[in-house]
């Protein structure tokens, strides 16, 4: 249960909303209990009074009970409505909190840890598993605590009239609210965990199939993917069938416990009536009250069935959230760089303890204002150099200094303030051109946005669009050409005048003409900045002051 307790602590900042929903749910149950119990007494008492004659009828108070019936009916409707509002508001707030919490735990893991995760599986954890955890409040927390609170109050009410009837109600509620749920929980734990696992696996297959549909068809791998998906779907249907059987068992046990309790309450009430310790009208009051009491425990078998899925989802969420960041956060505030130079001396870096060295005795000096090109084949360590500088990966040996201070004194967020990156993978979000530009500088006004687009030679194109800056770029920039997407990255670099500029294969995938135009527009953006240009293509190296080749984890100057 450690994952559940941790989940409760995670939700605790919203305890005000949670407890308000719990209180309203308890009031609703008690109002329904009071309505049925009072109605049972009132109807029976009215019938007996009618048989007793005119004198008894004149002495009987019809008005107070009828007013109380209306009171409980109105209270039940009002509290039910308020309970729905509050619990759903609490649910949405908890969902937002959990998503933000999970994102803040994931952010330090990017990209080093997250790139080892399957994209579809990561999406499933962010969406489906978080949604499953959100079931805890509505499906487990509120029903269980409401049943305990309302059950004790209703049993105490029964005890005022008949201890045996109160005991029968208590035993019946325990059987229905504890024994039956525990049995169904144990029976449903395995299929519940399987449903969570198989749902995640099936969604992963579907997402990856959609993303790679072209490759699957070209290489004839679609039938194999279909077979995997079909096998997973068959297993999922079997697990859902097993869960359905468990749900049926829970309903049967609940019905048995409720009917047995009603019979016991009726017997004990009748005996009290025969002994003269209870009026005839109070017997149906207890019977209908017992019937209403079981509304409190009715959701509990399903609640504990959901518990298996919730625990499985919690394990998946916490397993990823608890991963240690590859680069520990600095313990002290980052120092202000004296100058924006970079000194790397005899650096060694590997991605895992048993992995080969990617950088092996790597040394490089980049004074402030210098433009340095790094060339090398794919896999030679060029991207690793960026990950080192941006504090995405930790180096194991050597000395690294940035701005006159040790590189380990800076975190990734600190380096992001000093460095702008333009790469072939500069991501465009499925939103407007304006919003994609504002990522670089959220305080930029419209004039600054148009100036940046002018520098990037994209202003005329944006002006030609019907919605201008508010035109949507499509998912991943699908509505733009490759050159236009890179020019938005250039405009971002203009909006964020960081002293360092890293160019990571910025012309990859562009045709020769677009590449020449892009590099021509890039030249003025380099002015006054320290530049690290990483590529395996010769184009653009003429803009650099010096060029190094990267091979076998070491740098050698070639020009």
Which domains are seen in the chain, by residue range?
2-321 (1.20.1560.10), 342-557 (3.40.50.300)
- Using alpha carbons, select from 412, 405, 419 the residue that is nearest to residue 328: 412
Q: Which pLDDT tens digit goes with each residue over 142-171?
A: 998 999 999 999 999 999 888 999 999 989
Q: How far apart are CA 250 and CA 431, in angstroms?
A: 48
Give the Cα-Cα-Cα angle 407, 411, 412 (nearest 5 degrees): 110
Q: How far apart are CA 425 and CA 513, in angstroms?
A: 20
Q: pLDDT at position 525, please?
A: 81
CA 222 to chain centre: 31
Q: How far apart are CA 400 and CA 362, in angstroms?
A: 10
Q: In what order do the strands lie in the sheet with 419-423?
A: 419-423, 500-504, 530-535, 371-375, 546-551, 554-557
Q: How far apart are CA 16 and CA 115, in angstroms?
A: 38
Q: How far apart are CA 473 and CA 479, in angstroms?
A: 5
Q: How far apart are CA 165 and CA 388, in angstroms?
A: 73
Q: Whats the size of the chain, residue-wise?
A: 559
CB 288 within 8 Å of CB 33: no
Q: pLDDT at position 58, please?
A: 59
Task: Per residue of the chain (559 residues), give pLDDT as tens.
Answer: 588 888 888 888 999 999 999 999 999 999 999 999 988 888 888 887 777 666 555 566 788 888 898 999 999 999 999 999 999 999 999 989 999 999 888 888 888 777 777 777 787 788 888 888 888 898 889 998 999 999 999 999 999 888 999 999 989 888 887 777 777 777 777 887 788 788 878 888 888 888 788 788 877 888 888 888 899 989 889 888 888 888 787 778 778 888 888 899 989 888 888 888 888 888 889 999 999 898 888 888 777 767 777 888 888 889 888 888 888 888 888 898 888 899 999 999 988 888 888 899 999 999 999 999 999 887 788 888 888 999 988 899 999 999 989 999 998 888 988 998 888 777 888 899 999 999 888 888 989 999 888 888 888 899 999 999 999 988 878 888 878 888 888 888 888 888 999 988 887 777 778 778 878 877 888 888 899 998 887 878 888 899 999 888 888 888 7
How many other C-beta atoms lie within 10 A of the C-beta of residue 107?
Answer: 12
Residue labelled with tokens 């006004």: 445
Q: pLDDT at position 54, please?
A: 65
CB 280 within 8 Å of CB 124: no
């Amino acid at each position: 249960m450690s994952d559940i307790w941790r989940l409760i602590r995670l939700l605790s900042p919203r305890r005000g909303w949670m407890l308000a929903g719990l209180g309203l749910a308890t009031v609703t149950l008690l109002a329904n209990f009071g309505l049925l119990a009072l109605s049972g007494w009132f109807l029976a008492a009215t019938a007996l009074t009618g048989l007793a004659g005119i004198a008894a009828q004149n002495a009987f108070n019809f008005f107070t009970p009828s007013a109380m019936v209306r009171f409980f009916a109105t209270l039940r409707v009002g509290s039910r409505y308020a309970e729905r509002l509050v619990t759903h508001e609490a649910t949405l707030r908890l969902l937002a909190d959990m998503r933000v919490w999970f994102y803040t735990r994931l952010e330090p893991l990017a990209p080093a840890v997250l790139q080892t995760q399957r994209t579809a599986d990561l999406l499933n954890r962010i969406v489906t598993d978080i949604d499953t955890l959100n079931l805890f409040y509505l499906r487990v927390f509120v029903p269980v605590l409401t049943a305990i609170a309302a059950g004790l109050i209703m049993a105490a009410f029964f005890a005022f009239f008949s201890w045996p009837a109160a005991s029968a109600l208590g035993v019946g509620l325990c059987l229905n609210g504890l024994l039956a749920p525990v049995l169904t929980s144990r029976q449903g734990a395995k299929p519940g965990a399987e449903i969570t696992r198989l749902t995640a696996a099936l969604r992963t297959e579907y997402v990856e199939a959609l993303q790679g549909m072209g490759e699957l068809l070209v290489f004839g791998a679609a039938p194999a993917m279909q077979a995997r998906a079909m096998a997973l779907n068959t297993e999922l249907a079997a697990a859902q069938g097993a869960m359905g059987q468990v749900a049926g068992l829970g309903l049967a046990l609940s019905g048995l416990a409720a009917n047995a309790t009603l019979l016991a309450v009726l017997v004990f009430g009748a005996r009290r009536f025969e002994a003269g310790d209870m009026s005839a009208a109070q017997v149906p009051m207890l019977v209908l009250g017992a019937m209403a009491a079981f509304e409190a425990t009715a959701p509990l078998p399903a609640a504990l069935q959901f518990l298996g899925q919730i625990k499985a989802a919690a394990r998946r969420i916490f397993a990823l959230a608890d991963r240690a960041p590859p680069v520990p956060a600095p313990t002290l505030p980052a120092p202000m760089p004296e100058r924006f130079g970079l000194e790397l001396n005899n650096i060694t870096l590997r991605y895992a303890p048993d992995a080969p060295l990617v950088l092996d005795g790597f040394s490089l000096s980049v004074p402030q204002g210098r433009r340095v090109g790094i060339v090398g084949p794919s896999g030679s360590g060029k991207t690793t150099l960026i990950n080192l500088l941006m504090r995405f990966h930790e180096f194991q040996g050597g000395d690294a200094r940035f701005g006159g201070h040790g590189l380990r004194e800076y975190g990734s967020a600190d380096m992001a303030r000093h460095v702008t990156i333009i790469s072939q993978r500069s991501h465009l979000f499925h939103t407007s051109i304006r919003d994609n530009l504002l990522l670089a500088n959220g305080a930029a006004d419209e004039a600054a946005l148009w100036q940046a687009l002018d520098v990037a030679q994209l202003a005329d194109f944006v002006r030609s669009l019907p919605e201008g800056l508010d035109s949507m770029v499509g998912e991943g920039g699908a509505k733009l050409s490759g050159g236009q997407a890179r020019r938005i990255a250039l405009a971002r670099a203009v909006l964020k005048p960081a002293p360092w500029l890293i160019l990571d294969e910025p012309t990859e995938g562009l045709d020769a003409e677009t590449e020449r135009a892009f590099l021509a527009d890039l030249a003025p953006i380099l002015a006054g900045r320290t530049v690290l240009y990483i590529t395996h293509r010769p184009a653009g190296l003429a803009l650099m002051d010096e060029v190094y080749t990267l091979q076998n984890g070491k740098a050698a100057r070639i020009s």
